[in-house]
Amino acid sequence: MKEIKNTEKLILFEESTKSVKKIYRQNKEDEKKEKVLIYSFIKGNIDYEYDGEKIKKIIIENSDQFPNFISPYGYGFSERSLNNFLRYNFNDDKIDTIVLSESKSSSRNKTQLILNYDDIESLIKSINQEQRACNDTKKILIKNLIVDIFPDVNFDHSETNNNKDLILRNLNDKLIEKLTADEIQKLGEFYVKATRKFKAGHIIKKMTAGLMKNAQILSLQEIIIKYEKLLKENPAESEWQKFFDEYITLFDSRYVHKINYKNIATGITKYPDLVLVDIYGYIDFYELKKSGTDLIQYDKSHKTWFWSKDVSMVIAQVSDYLQKSKENALSYAKAIKDETETDTEQGLEVNIINPRAIIVIGHTKQLDTEKKRNHFKNLRESLKDIEFVLYDELLERLKNLLDTIKIDK
């Protein structure tokens, strides 16, 4: 065995026979002076020892030279994250060897994982690009914090992640699942700006439609999760009001505007929970009660079912909204137009002709017999311009809407 190289920390030795040449490494700080086999030249290949938990050997095929991404001193891949992954995180029990090839395509061959040089170099390039972008982002975030806290410091606020390849690489299905409705909206706004660069109208329309569909799916998924949580908790009416106020125009496409009813002078002091304007300019009043509210009561003397006290009260309440809005239709419409007018846009033109009231209340689990269901059906259908929606019925509508959108997609 002869010494072939002497570095600051290592000595390399060569041991040769007729068919095999082996290279060993000795650490100068090792008191035992132990020689560790690094690799062997066998039949035109380099057999490289590897200390991975599953992978024990790397074969550099048809070569007597090391590719620049492998350490000739026996420490594996020069890219640390790749090396650590193959050493500690690669957990396929059936793979024990990696073959590095300039000519073969990356593939699997029994217990071997064949990796093409170009694929590895491309991977390392992407990793380095990601790391550089990450470092640049850190610097920008630090600088932006200084600018925000100390505006007199001589720095400019900068946007992060302007690396095109990095952004495109992260636009995948996994990212979609993590985005919120607001974040999807931001992407949509960016896309609309970006498409102005091109003249291909048919492509823009097609891609915009797809983007809107994805945004709608994500919005509905998020809404359904929150709705199911509220339905399980049976919270106070105020919580339901917050939910509907925030989301109803997202899950019910009929509505395009919400009116701040309390800012409109109509001569009454009791207000609906929501006042909504549909795509044709017609008004709907929403009154929200708890999902646990009793719907009907039994009349023993007449052997029939009638509205519970809470439901009777809310019917009277919304009937009053409807009556007052009809009596004051012109002044009410003018008040809405004046209230919604801005310095750049005209106010809303609304139609107060046979307005509807929608009462969201109760749960079908209360209607646990055929007779109860039939009586409730008759009661709800007997009311003019007043619609009852049970909370679990609305949840079912949301789920059906989501399924329909997914099918159409």
Return the domain boundaries, the chain: 2-121, 171-233, 235-393
Give the residues across from 255 on adjacent strands.
278
Q: What 3-state DSSP class applies to 276?
A: strand
Q: Which of the pair, 69 or 199, is modelled with greater confidence?
A: 69
Global pTM exceeds 0.95:
no
Contacts 24+ apart (CB under 8 A), 166-174: 166/129, 166/130, 166/133, 169/126
Average pLDDT over residues 30-35: 92
Residue 323 to residue 317: CA distance in whole angstroms: 10
Residue 197 to residue 201: CA distance in whole angstroms: 11
What is the pLDDT at residue 263? 57
Residue 354 to residue 322: CA distance in whole angstroms: 8
Q: Which of the pair, 182 or 104, is modelled with greater confidence?
A: 104
Residue 218 to residue 242: CA distance in whole angstroms: 20
* Burial of 357: CB neighbours in 10 Å, binned 0-12, 13-18, 19+: buried
DSSP conformation class of 141 = H
- In angstroms, the Cα distances linking 2 to 19, 33, 138, 303 are 17, 15, 49, 108
Q: With contact defined as beta carbons under 8 Å apart, do 62 and 45 qualify? A: yes
Could you read off the pLDDT of 56-99 as tens digits, one per residue? 999 999 998 999 999 999 999 999 999 999 999 998 889 999 99
Look at 127-136, 137-146, 165-174, 344-353 and tell me which has the smallest mean pLDDT. 165-174
Could you read off the pLDDT of 286-319 as tens digits, one per residue? 999 999 999 999 999 888 899 999 999 999 999 9
Residue 336 confidence (pLDDT) above 80: yes
